């Protein structure tokens, strides 16, 4: 089997694992009351962009072969790096879901009896789930042997992250005041000690 084919299989298996990890939380979230939602139409567009970059564009390429001019061959080093980054991403994704628990929502929301989470992976950084999305997009860039499919996830996550992050931190600061401000002073966003 070529490294390129292995890369595609690893990407697909990781995607299935991602859905299996999220499914129980998405089910529970439907039953958790929301007291405030912020920027709903903007959030809808951002989630659509993330879905397009991480699923739709790669699937179009996989199914149709277009744009074949941007295909290249992977080597096994890229596949191994991609698989390791993917594993780290899925671990962080699962841990942040566990630590965030019922405060989780796909868009920006304050839940009924919402509390600030500062433990677990949230001790290291404020946005471990978004860090896991960045790692996922990086893994995709290593694993798919086509420039458009490889880069689409990174572009989509960059748009999602940089458009959403200030709104999310403002919403949490308005809801939790000094508690969240203190947490912001103690932690960085996605890279411990750096950013
Ligand atoms: N940005 C976080 C959470 C993503 S889920 C991360 O990347 O891990 C988005 C929801 O999480 C938002 O609606 C917000 O209400 C909630 N949230 C984000 N950080 C939180 C925290 N430290 N404690 C409690 N809820 C938080």
Q: Token pair of 125, please?
A: 């950084």
Residue with CA nearest ligand 1 atom 12:
108
Q: Is residue 193 part of a domain?
A: no
- The CATH number of whichever domain residue 10 belongs to comes to 1.20.120.1630
Alpha helices in the chain (DSSP H): 3-30, 40-51, 57-64, 76-100, 128-143, 147-176, 178-186
Which residues form the pocket of ligand 1, taking CB atoms under 6 Å from any ligand atom? 96, 100, 103-105, 108-110, 116-117, 122, 127-130, 168, 172
Quick check: is 29 in a domain? yes
What is the rounded (10 degree) CA torsion for 28, 30, 34, 38?
110
| Within a domain: 191 | no
- Average pLDDT score over the chain: 97
Fill in the DSSP letter of residue 107.
S
Name the residue of 96, 100, 182 whose CB sits within 8 Å of the most ligand 1 atoms, as the mutation to test its pocket: 100
Total domains in the chain come to 1
* Spatial distance between the Cα atoms of 159 and 153, rounded to a whole number of angstroms: 10
For residues 97 and 129, the answer to whether their CB atoms sit within 8 Å is yes
Tell how far the Cα of 142 is from the centroid of ligand 1, in angstroms.
Answer: 28
Cα of 49 vs centre of ligand 1, distance in Å, is 19
Could you report how far apart the first and last alpha carbons of the chain are, in Å? 40
Threshold 0.95, pTM exceeds: yes
How far, in Å, from the CA of 143 to the mean position of ligand 1? Answer: 29
pLDDT digits (tens, 9 = 90+) for 41-79: 999 999 999 999 999 999 999 999 999 999 999 999 999
Residue 49 domain boundaries: 3-186
pLDDT score at 135:
98
pLDDT of residue 117: 98
**Cα(85)–Cα(123) distance, rounded to whole angstroms?**
21
Residue-level pLDDT at 152: 98
Reference 78, options 8, 158, 157, 155; nearest CA is 8
Quick check: is 102 in a domain?
Answer: yes
Length of the chain (residues): 195
* Per-residue pLDDT, 187: 98
Q: How far does residue 47's CA lie from ligand 1's centre (Å)?
A: 15
Listed as ranges, residues in the chain with pLDDT below 70 are none
How remote is the CA of residue 6 from the centroid of ligand 1, in Å? Answer: 34
């Amino acid at each position: 089997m070529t490294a390129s084919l292995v890369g595609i299989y690893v990407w697909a298996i990781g995607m299935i694992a991602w859905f299996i990890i999220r499914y129980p939380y998405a089910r529970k979230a439907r039953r958790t009351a929301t007291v405030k939602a912020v920027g709903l139409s903007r959030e809808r567009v951002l989630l659509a962009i993330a879905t397009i970059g991480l699923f739709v564009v790669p699937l179009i390429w996989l199914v149709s072969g277009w744009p074949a001019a941007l295909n290249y061959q992977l080597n096994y080093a890229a596949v191994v790096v991609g698989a390791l980054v993917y594993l780290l991403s899925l671990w962080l994704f699962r841990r942040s879901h566990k630590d965030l628990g019922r405060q989780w929502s796909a868009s920006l929301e304050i839940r009924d009896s919402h509390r600030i989470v500062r433990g677990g992976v949230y001790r290291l950084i404020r946005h471990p789930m978004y860090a896991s999305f960045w790692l996922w997009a990086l893994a995709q860039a290593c694993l798919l042997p086509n420039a458009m499919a490889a880069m689409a996830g990174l572009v989509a996550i960059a748009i999602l992250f940089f458009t959403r992050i200030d709104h999310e931190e403002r919403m949490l600061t308005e809801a939790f005041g000094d508690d969240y401000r203190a947490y912001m002073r103690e932690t960085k966003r996605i890279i411990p000690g750096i950013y």
